Amino acid sequence: MQPFIKHTGLVAPMDRVNVDTDQMVPKQFLKLQTREGFGRTLFYDWRYLPGEALNPEFPLNFPRYKGASVLLARANFGCGSSREHAPWAILDYGFRSIIAPSYADIFYNNCFKNGILPVTLSDAQVDDLFRRVENQESYRLTVDLENQVITDESGLRIPFEIDPFRRNSLLKGLDDIGLTLEHEPDISAYEKLNPKSAPMYEAVDVKIAAPQT
């Protein structure tokens, strides 16, 4: 996973509450087998008119937000389905950080697994940022995870809170699985104390034979 230390980029607004992951990647794109290439599908039904022509009324399609890499969003961003295709699409589109007042749990967690930093600010702070984005063309923000602060070129400075463990993993781009495997002796010890199995007491129509353990 690519680390996130500090990122400066153009800000694009997504001024809707409760944006669900079905909107980020509609179902027809859930049949692919890659993690890449989902940028094209991001906000598909909002972003495109029939025939995949760009919808000129959708903010991400405004020329002024072309190349944006910081997404400013509203409350409960990423609710609904657990599909990790949503953060894959956000990343592949070019966003490295999201700023919102709140996120749905599964989506929030999925962001960290993909090197995306979701920053949580108060409603008032987010409102203020929406005004700044609207009023100023090419509005850019620097999201500094190391110092836990968001800044702009006019001297704005907004500190933010983040779980220290998540912060550290993101700063270093750590491989979660690798980290857990370092605790393999703990896992084995747990299994020895708490033997787990799933025996079948009555035959069911299962395709693969149960492995021997």
Interface ranges with another protein (CB under 8 A): 16-18, 20, 22-23, 26-28, 30-35, 45, 74-76, 79-84, 87, 102-106, 109-110, 113-114, 163-165, 176-177, 179-181, 183, 186-187, 190-191, 194, 196-211, 213
Residue number with CB closer to another protein (110 or 142): 110
Phi, psi (degrees; rounded to nearest 5) at 159: -70, 150
Q: Are 10 and 139 in contact (CB under 8 A)?
A: yes
Pick the closer one to another protein by CB: 153 or 191. 191
Report in angstroms how near the CB of residue 121 gets to another protein at its nearest. 16
DSSP state of 40: G
Shortest CB 194 distance to another protein, Å: 7
CA distance 98 to 4: 12
Nearer to another protein, 44 or 65 (CB): 44
What's the closest the beta carbon of residue 55 comes to another protein, in angstroms?
Answer: 13
| Distance in angstroms (rounded) separating the CA atoms of residues 96 and 14 | 15
| Strand pairing category for 70-73 and 6-14 | parallel
**Phi, psi at 157, each rounded to 5°:** -145, 110
User: Least distance to another protein from the beta carbon of 71, Å?
Assistant: 18
Q: Which is nearer to another protein, 8 or 109 (CB)?
A: 109
Q: How far is the CB of 44 from another protein (least distance, A)?
A: 9
Question: Which residue, 18 or 138, is less far from another protein as judged by CB?
Answer: 18
Contact (CB, 8 A) for 105 and 78: no
| Cα–Cα distance measured from residue 168 to residue 190, given in angstroms and rounded to the nearest whole number | 27
